[in-house]
Amino acid sequence: MSAPAGRRNATLLASGVLGIVGNLVAVLLLADQPSAYRLGGLDAWAREIAGHPVAGAASAATFTLGLIALAIWALELRDQLPPGAARAGALIVAIGALFDALGTVGPLVLAQHVADAGESTRQVARALLGLSLSLDALFNLSLGVGLLLIGAAWDGGGRRWLRILALAAGLASLPVGAQAFSDGAAKLLVLAAPLWLSFIAVTTNLKWGTHAGDLRAR
């Protein structure tokens, strides 16, 4: 394996791990915010952030870093996919992740920079959290479209099950893109998130095996 290819695999490994860990830790930090990313719970979510500002800020920051890492992972994966629809799918995932990273700053701003001052503050909170929810919905939609394109156009490196995993994760993520309009759509994340996290973990692990084998061969 050439040095540039080795660096790409190492970057994909690091970004994949950071993306997975960042998102999982951020979800754990939402333990005191059960209304987070729920259309019908924006006001409750604002109150939960006000009651737990440190956890709210930490979760938002961790989500942001994790999503940036996922964007880097998707771009690195794109370079290793066949030209055409598969690469377009990876690019769509990367763009969606970056937009979502911008959105996750909203709860951080609310936790750190918006004081509780009555009705005007409530409107600001709803705007910040509504934007965060909408960009998260866009991410899930882009994730669904992107993974479907990858699964449809890539043979999984000869692993049919990996292709099926990409398609399943894409299909499960598509309806979550409606979470900006329906809390019911957000509930489907329970199914979609383990699938797309598994796809990231598997592709990252496969590249780690290739990279580790190359290091041992030197």
| Tens digits of residue pLDDT in 137-148 | 999 999 999 999
Give the pLDDT confidence score for residue 118 in this predicted structure: 67
Q: In terms of pTM, does the model score above 0.75?
A: yes
Reported confidence tier of residue 34, pLDDT bands at 50, 70, 90: very high
Query: Where is pLDDT greater, at 216 or 73?
Result: 73
pLDDT at residue 119 above 50? yes
| Helix, strand counts (H, E) of the chain | 9, 0
| Residue 211: per-residue pLDDT | 45
Per DSSP, the residues of 86-150 read HHHHHHHHHHHHHHHHHHTHHHHHHHHH----SHHHHHHHHHHHHHHHHHHHHHHHHHHHHHHHH
- Looking at every residue in the chain, the average pLDDT score rounds to 90
Confidence (pLDDT) at 70: 97
Looking at residues 81-94, what average pLDDT do you find? 96
